[in-house]
Amino acid sequence: GENVEQHPSTLSVQEGDSAVIKCTYSDSASNYFPWYKQELGKGPQLIIDIRSNVGEKKDQRIAVTLNKTAKHFSLHITETQPEDSAVYFCAAAFYNQGGKLIFGQGTELSVKP
């Protein structure tokens, strides 16, 4: 069945360092890969997404890379700041299958000042 594996489950970095979170997916038909950030007491918030016709996408300090052959995608955060501390979720979906996203288990990122 559809499955998304996410690693690591927890990640602690020093302020200014980079953080990398990795996900693999099982359904080769998946073609949309969003990343969400969830802060305490809030719902997940979309921070970046990528579609399967693109290998990399950047938005300021965050970037996502996609390797369709390996069914693997990653989130990269550079120059981390304490406000980046949160739980990050990757997800995979089949384009135009509406709101059905398959989520990874989440990574709790802690950025120490």
Residues that bind other proteins (CB under 8 A): 32, 34, 36, 41-46, 49, 89, 91, 93, 95-106
Q: Taking Cα atoms as reference points, which of 88, 83, 80, 61 lies closest to residue 19?
A: 80
Q: Do the beta carbons of residue 111 and residue 81 sit within 8 Å? A: yes
Using the minimum distance from each CB to other proteins, give the nearer residue, 80 or 93: 93
Report, in Å, the least distance between residue 14 CB and other proteins: 27
Report, in Å, the least distance between residue 23 CB and other proteins: 12
Classified as helix, coil or strand, 82 is helix
Using the minimum distance from each CB to other proteins, give the nearer residue, 13 or 49: 49
Classified as helix, coil or strand, 51 is strand
